[in-house]
């Protein structure tokens, strides 16, 4: 099982989600996405696994602060790569499945 979490250690939801994964005996690959944002292709792949569009994973306040709140489609994906703090967190990927950790327990269905 190859589990990856796009993690922000300063976020309580992200920390709780990581704890739930570890309680299952899984040691995930931790991607500190603020330091190492996903590429546009990775983000598109994650969105496909989530069954969501780029607008569905933005943090509205941060997107507005970054000036990217009016974008959509590939333009928004490119902007999220440039401004990863506007990406909702955490996102957990397990193989070809992904889940948002909001609420944290929602990731359990893909583990």
Active site residue 69: no
What secondary structure letter does DSSP report for 3? E
Report the distance separating Cα 10 and Cα 111, nearest Å.
23
- The catalytic position among 4, 11, 16, 102 is 11
Give residues with Cβ within 8 angstroms of 52, minimum separation 6: none
H helix count then E strand count, the chain: 4, 4
Active site residue ranges: 11
């Amino acid at each position: 099982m190859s589990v990856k979490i796009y993690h922000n250690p300063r976020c309580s939801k992200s920390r709780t989600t990581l704890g739930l994964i570890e309680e299952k005996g899984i040691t995930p690959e931790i991607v500190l996405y603020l330091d190492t944002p996903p590429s546009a292709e990775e983000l598109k792949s994650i969105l496909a696994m989530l069954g969501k569009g780029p607008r569905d994973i933005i943090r509205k306040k941060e997107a507005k602060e970054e000036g990217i709140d009016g974008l959509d489609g590939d333009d928004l994906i490119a902007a999220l790569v440039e401004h990863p703090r506007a990406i909702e967190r955490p996102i957990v990927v397990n193989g070809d499945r992904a889940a948002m950790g909001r609420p944290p327990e929602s990731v359990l269905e893909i583990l």
